[in-house]
Chains A and B, each alone.
Chain A
Amino acid sequence: MNRFDYVRPGSVAEAVAAAAEPGAAYLAAGTNLLDLMKGGITRPGRLVDVTHLPGLDRIEHLPDGGVRIGALVRNSDLAYDPHVSKALPAVAEALLSGASAQLRNAATVAGNLLQRTRCPYFYDPASACNKRDPGAGCEARGGETRLHAVLGWSEHCIATHPSDFCVPLVSLDATVEIEGRAGAREVPLDALYRLPEDRPDRETVLEPGDLIVALRLPAEAASFAGHSRYLKVRDRTSYAFAVVSAAASLRLDGGRIGEARIALGGVALKPWRARAAEAVLAGAELSERRFLEAADAALAEARPSGDNAYKIELARRLIVRALTLAAAGTPERMPALPASAFSGDALHA
């Protein structure tokens, strides 16, 4: 691990000023950052420790029915918050399907949003990577690409975003509150992330010094609570990143679908909102035929970035399965294996 200056600011304003310097990085739990630093993947010259900043570790239920989640709330605290697990069950299920209990106890909400890709070529300093070293090239192209992107990728980068949490969040119109040198602003989570295009090193719209202070979910997100699931296919049943995942939420209106929300994980460098699929389902009857049409619409633009065409069909089937499970209703209790396709109710869908 490289040497660095350690700074512990007393306020958000001090933090922003300290982190705006070149080479500075924010430190929260450090579960991703320390791993990257130990591997020599990132070498920040200054760590700005935000874990002692007051007021950023609260979950607030707003008068309008929305939820405001402080940036430092730990993943497990959010997943087990009684209100959140009831009102936003797919968010809780996604959180509990990610990482391990130890990591969820430490990792923060904002850290989860900003975790870096697990592309093995990004993680290997001996491999060329445009994300690590702009212009160096991408050794993932033509390499071992089983887990790489099938949507939104470019010839410069075919990595995927690893977060489970972000997938239902982006489907439910989550936003992030950002404090920066120019003051405070709010950005839709979907717009926080950039697609790789020709600058895969620019991962988000955050500017130097920008600090995510909270995550917000609108009141409307809870209207899907009764029919909301997250489903994740991975190489192991637990403690593994998604090969492909899907968040599906339905608001039923009589026997028909009032509104649907769908997003995919593991397929692109950002959590992938499938608006075309949602449009297919709006006002439609509940039927497998419609679910298949929606899945086709979600993957219409997909193309393999290597030896991963199977992910397109996998994502299509996962959307149908997630919609089927969502239509059947959110389980009363969190499944023993959250988001698993092999857990009780999910097996027979």
Chain B
Amino acid sequence: MTFRLTLTVNGEPRAIELDDPRVTLLDLLRERLGLTGSKKGCDRGQCGACTVLLNGRRINSCLALAVSLDGAEVLTIEGLAVDEQLHPVQAAFIEHDGFQCGFCTPGQIMSAVGLIREGHAGDDPERVREGMSGNLCRCGAYIGITEAVLDAQARSAGVDQGEAA
């Protein structure tokens, strides 16, 4: 049986045919749409490396069945930058050394974008750390990650417009 669904991925409508309902959103992105930015770490919802925005909200794409998401909008790390212009969260991760090996970074950045959109953390580093606890970093770049999120959020809010992109 073939399952037909439509997803909007990084702003582009995609008609998708699945021959198997077991395909997760993560596997769809990586194996069938060629979007390998979202990473498969644990594949069990524990590490956050697969984080994408689904209808504007961050989720673990490894724990979502693609067939169930007909009509949804998906934003991945590949859809963040506009042409050559990095998203403020991407730029802040570079400036604050928010990574070392980089494997968890797409998930960290998508999670940070989601966190800033949610708007519950404010400028409190403790709330940022709590809000980012679903993203593990084996290199231990957490200090830089927290600084990057706070900085990117301040720029998004127009607090630091002089440096904003």
Indicate whether A38 reaches chain B with its CB closer than 8 angstroms: yes
Q: How far is the CA of A316 from the CA of B135 in the complex (A)?
A: 33
Interface of B is mostly: mixed
- Chain A: minimal CB distance from B19 (Å): 12
**B1-57, CB < 8 A from A:** 3, 20-22, 24, 43-45, 48, 51, 54, 57
Interface string of B124-138 (1 = CB under 8 A from A): 101101111111000
Interface of A is mostly: loop
Q: Pull 10 A–B residue pairs with CB atoms less than 8 Å apart, ordered by A.
A: A1-B22, A3-B20, A30-B63, A100-B134, A103-B45, A103-B63, A103-B134, A106-B63, A238-B129, A238-B130
Known contacts A238-B133, A336-B126; decide if A106 and B68 are in contact (CB<8 Å): no
Q: How far is the CA of A47 from the CA of B23 in the complex (A)?
A: 13
Q: How far is the CA of A49 from the CA of B68 in the complex (A)?
A: 7
User: Which among A51, A52, A102, A338 is the interface contact of B60 at CB below 8 angstroms?
Assistant: A102
A interface residues, Cβ below 8 angstroms from B: 1, 3-6, 8, 27, 29-31, 34-35, 38-39, 47, 49, 51-52, 76, 80, 99-103, 105-106, 237-239, 336-338
* Minimum CB distance partner of B24 in chain A: A34
Known contacts A30-B68, A34-B24, A34-B63; decide if A102 and B126 are in contact (CB<8 Å): no
Q: How far is the CA of A219 from the CA of B68 in the complex (A)?
A: 35
B interface residues, Cβ below 8 angstroms from A: 3, 20-22, 24, 43-45, 48, 51, 54, 57-60, 62-65, 67-68, 70, 111, 114-115, 118, 120, 124, 126-127, 129-135
User: Which among A6, A31, A337 is the interface contact of B130 at CB below 8 angstroms?
Assistant: A337
Q: How far is the CA of A35 from the CA of B24 in the complex (A)?
A: 11
